[in-house]
Amino acid sequence: MNPIRILSAFGVLLAFVVIALGAWTRLADAGLGCPDWPGCYGFVTFPTTASEIAQAEALYPHSPVEIDKIIPEVVHRYFAASLGLLAIVILFFSKKNNKHIKLSSALLAVIIGQGIFGYLTVSLKLYPLIVTGHLFGAMIVTSIFLIMFLNTSNYQYSSNVLRSRRALIYIGFGLVIWQIFLGAWTSTNYAARACLDFPLCQGQMIPPTDFSEGFNFLQSLGPNYLFGQLSNEARVAIHLTHRIGAVIVLLYSIFLATKIYSKQTKLFVFTFLGILGTQIFLGINNILSSLPLWNAVAHNMVGVMLFLWFVVMIYFSYKGKNESSSLS
């Protein structure tokens, strides 16, 4: 067994866990559970005894210790750090075997960048653009693990249909990336609760909105962005844009599925539509159920699965042997 294949497969699973823990931390409002980084109130783990808690609160008087918020933040940090260790081990085997060195080096570089984003997330007090970028960095890490796994698995399957429709797949991928950004922007600006009815929003088709404030990507540095700083109108604008984006992605995805469907690609198509349908259901249920934590985390994770499935489709549009069958 190729050790890089085993490690990269484990890396995909571990990266999924890290993204889920990050979503749990963010959605449980625990992103500032530890006011410092990489420690927590100056401790390697976190304060537990009465004397340690008193010491921590004396050191950070404006950040009272809340154990229920510290735990998700610390667990997320330790799992994220383990990704870095895994990347170092993969780089070691890559250099030893003189294979996949560039990809494994890129993986470690991106994870180091993720550490910097983790520090900035805390030091800039959940600045929305940084938190959103942190999520995309995590998806890039997962994608590199996945591509490394596929490269070391020697899969020979490829589809003329996927190859010929590659441009359409890239367009769909771009739409999904934009929609994930809108979802992350909705979450990091605490706009998910701006509309708690569906298909209307606050009882109206189009309630008052402020798009200029809602999509100001250069918000002022300095405030504590926990629970958000935007007006209700700005949050409504973000939320509605995310809803409209979902409709666009759904319609385009149905169109794309009809274009790439063939006897050889039906597994890709059915898996793709299954992931998409699950994501639409979770998005609607987020609203109708008033954003339950489990559903919100699942919505994040299925969004990542949709992103990765496009990575898989693009990968197989380039790799492997051609089909002998004609396009359908």
Residues taking part in catalysis: 73
Nearest to 3 by CA among 103, 98, 89, 109: 89
DSSP code per residue over 202-233 = TTBSS----HHHHT-SSPPSSS--TT----HH
Q: Distances from the Cα of 194 to the Cαs of 177, 209, 248, in angstroms?
A: 22, 11, 21
Work out the number of other CB atoms within 10 angstroms of the CB of residue 62.
Answer: 7
In sign, the C-alpha dihedral spanning 13, 176, 278, 272 is: negative
Burial class from Cβ neighbours inside 10 Å (0-12, 13-18, 19+) for residue 218 reads exposed
In sign, the C-alpha dihedral spanning 213, 217, 221, 222 is: positive
Q: Distances from the Cα of 75 to the Cαs of 42, 70, 240, 246, 306, in angstroms?
A: 16, 9, 33, 32, 26
Q: 43 has which bridge partners?
A: 40
